């Protein structure tokens, strides 16, 4: 009997230990991954976002409300749901993240009317609820980081990921304004050598308010938030999943100890 009690208390200790490890992992911010700005091949850039980091998601929500919601909606996500999942207190939600006239149970809509969007940008800004699922997080990460000046465009802006983009470079005050630098490459086409222009790298012509690393984090957090918005229950699912696995591990261990106890006199 004593033994069983000891087993139980040990397993509780194990659980508590695992919980504090999990909590520490949550609290610790992941160090910035390899600096993507240094890799010249923009097609290899990855979002590397962590949808189980509540801190990153909170920052992403703030970024979205400051820089995106003026044109884009998240029509399947309610403010209240977002606040619950991202552990945002209601007063902070209402003060910092919601328009005054909105109610917490409203879906996240934009004040921009679709027809205005079309008049101003030539295209209605799409709803972003399912964008991360449709295009993938790496796509959006690259999209937000590859705006460059292009005087031939009405917005003076183009984008490597989405050529002839209608969206203006809305993050240039943070990330700066960059020019695309091209190089000539020679290719043999049908036996003839032709010289083609190929994208080489970006050159920061006007620095923004953030350093390149800070801007990467800003974009990563924003993409992370869009990843969450595309599947809001994944945050809860993942944290529940950890507990379920821990519970099963402890249960297996207890069962094994019990089996040893039952069989010890038989061998
Ligand atoms: C001033 C209005 C405006 C703002 C602000 C804005 N966008 Fe856009 N966005 C647009 C328009 C217009 C399009 C359509 C672009 C197109 O299809 O050429 C678009 C398209 C997109 C797309 C889809 C790209 C694709 O492949 O179809 C994504 C993703 C996106 N925006 C993300 C964002 C994020 C994230 C923010 C905030 C950091 C943001 N946008 C802020 C106007 C805006």
Identify whether residues 18 and 66 lie together within a single domain: no
pLDDT digits (tens, 9 = 90+) for 36-81: 445 678 999 999 999 999 999 999 999 999 999 999 999 999 999 9
Worst-scoring range by mean pLDDT, 83-87, 116-120, 138-142? 116-120
- Does some domain include residue 247? yes
> In the chain, how many domains are there?
2
What would the mean pLDDT of 128-134 be, rounded to a whole number? Answer: 96
Instruction: Provide residues with CB under 6 Å of ligand 1.
Output: 67-68, 70-72, 117, 121, 123, 125-126, 128, 131, 135, 140, 143-144, 162, 165-168, 170-171, 222
Q: How many helices (H) and strands (E) does the chain have?
A: 10, 6
Looking at residue 117, what is its pLDDT? 86
pLDDT value, residue 41:
87
Pair of tokens at residue 126: 């799409």
Say yes or no to pLDDT of 26 above 50: no
Over residues 20-49, mean pLDDT: 62
- Gyration radius of the chain's alpha carbons: 25
Ligand 1 centroid to Cα of residue 24, in Å, is 35
Across 4-8, 150-154, 215-219, 251-255, least confident range: 4-8
CA-nearest of 239, 221, 209 to 141 is 221
Q: Give the sign of the dihedral formed by CA 180, CA 185, CA 187, CA 192.
A: positive
- Mean pLDDT across 235-248: 89
Kindly give the residue spans of alpha helices, DSSP state H, lying in 86-171. 90-92, 114-121, 131-135, 137-145
Residue 24: inside a domain, yes or no?
Answer: yes
CATH number of the domain to which 59 belongs:
1.10.760.10
Instruction: Please report the pLDDT score of residue 107 as a whole number.
Output: 97
Residue closest via CA to ligand 1's atom 41 equals: 68
Q: By residue range, what is the domain housing residue 142? A: 39-169+210-231
- The pLDDT of residue 34 is 46
Asked if residue 189 belongs to a domain, the reply is no
229-252 residues labelled b (16+ CB within 10 A) or e (exposed): bbebeebeeeeeeeeeeeeeebee
Q: What is the pLDDT of residue 35?
A: 46
58-72, 115-129, 245-259: the lowest-pLDDT one? 115-129
User: 147 with 249, same domain?
Assistant: no
**Closest-lying ligand 1 atom to the alpha carbon of residue 124:** 12
- Nearest CA, atom 23, ligand 1: 126
Q: Is residue 87 part of a domain?
A: yes
Quote the DSSP letter at residue 156. S
* Whole-number average pLDDT of the chain: 87
- Tokens representing residue 85 in the block: 């999942």
The share of the chain scoring above pLDDT 70, in percent, equals 85
Whether residue 47 is found in the same domain as residue 147: yes
Reported as a pLDDT band with limits 50, 70 and 90, residue 248 is: very high
Q: For the chain, what's the residue count?
A: 267
**Residue 2: what pLDDT?**
52
Residue 20 lies in a domain: yes
Q: What is the C-alpha separation between 102 and 123, in angstroms, rounded?
A: 26
**Which of 66, 70, 88 minimizes the C-alpha distance to 79?**
88
Start-to-end CA span in the chain (Å): 21
Place of tokens 């690259």: 142
Say what the pTM is: 0.80
Q: What is the sign, positive or negative, of the torsion defined by CA atoms of 245, 250, 254, 260?
A: positive
- 60 & 140 share domain: yes
11 plus 68 within the same structural domain: no
């Amino acid at each position: 009997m004593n033994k069983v009690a000891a087993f139980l208390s040990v397993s509780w200790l194990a659980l508590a230990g695992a919980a504090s490890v999990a909590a520490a992992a949550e609290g610790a911010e992941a160090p910035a991954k390899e600096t993507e700005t240094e890799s010249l091949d923009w097609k290899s850039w990855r979002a590397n976002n962590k949808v189980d980091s509540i801190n990153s998601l909170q920052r992403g929500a703030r970024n979205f409300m400051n820089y995106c919601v003026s044109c884009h909606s998240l029509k399947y996500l309610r403010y209240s749901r977002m606040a619950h999942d991202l552990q945002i207190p209601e007063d902070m939600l209402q003060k910092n993240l919601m328009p005054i006239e909105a109610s917490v149970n409203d879906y996240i809509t934009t004040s921009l009317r679709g027809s205005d969007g079309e008049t101003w940008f030539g295209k209605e800004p799409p709803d972003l609820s399912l964008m991360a699922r449709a295009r993938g997080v790496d796509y959006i990460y690259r999209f937000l980081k590859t705006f460059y000046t292009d005087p031939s465009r009405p917005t003076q802006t183009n984008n490597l990921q989405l050529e002839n983009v209608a969206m203006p470079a809305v993050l240039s005050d943070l990330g700066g304004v960059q020019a695309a630098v091209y190089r000539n490459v020679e290719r043999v086409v049908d036996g003839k050598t032709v010289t083609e222009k190929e994208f080489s790298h970006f050159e920061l012509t006007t620095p923004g308010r953030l350093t390149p690393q800070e801007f990467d984090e800003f974009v990563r957090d924003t993409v992370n938030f869009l990843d969450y918005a595309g599947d809001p229950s994944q945050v809860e699912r993942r944290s529940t999943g950890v507990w379920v696995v821990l519970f099963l591990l402890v249960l297996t261990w207890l069962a094994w100890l019990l089996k040893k106890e039952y069989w010890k006199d038989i061998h």
